[in-house]
Amino acid sequence: MEGCWIVNLSKQVAALSWRKGSQSQTNDECVEVAALGPSVLVRDSRDTAAGVLALDSAQWNALVSAIQSGELDCR
């Protein structure tokens, strides 16, 4: 895949301050986000050990815009 690579950031990821949306459910059915340098990391709150998706600012903005516009089915 162009522009994709796998790196082991487990120590850095464990130490990050992860946040959930203010309207997220208390039963962990949401994603969490954290900042790491210039990247926004996204992970599944139900399985935090499954890995993270690292997005640059343009990718993060595109994802947020797609969600807000209803382009993605998030339910």
Specify burial of residue 59 (Cβ count, 10 A radius: 0-12, 13-18, 19+). middle
Q: What are the tens digits of pLDDT across the range 4-46?
A: 655 666 677 778 898 987 766 666 678 899 998 899 999 888 8
Task: Band the pLDDT of 69: cuts 50, 70, 90.
Answer: very high
> Please, what is the Cα angle at 61 between 12 and 43, to 5 degrees?
35
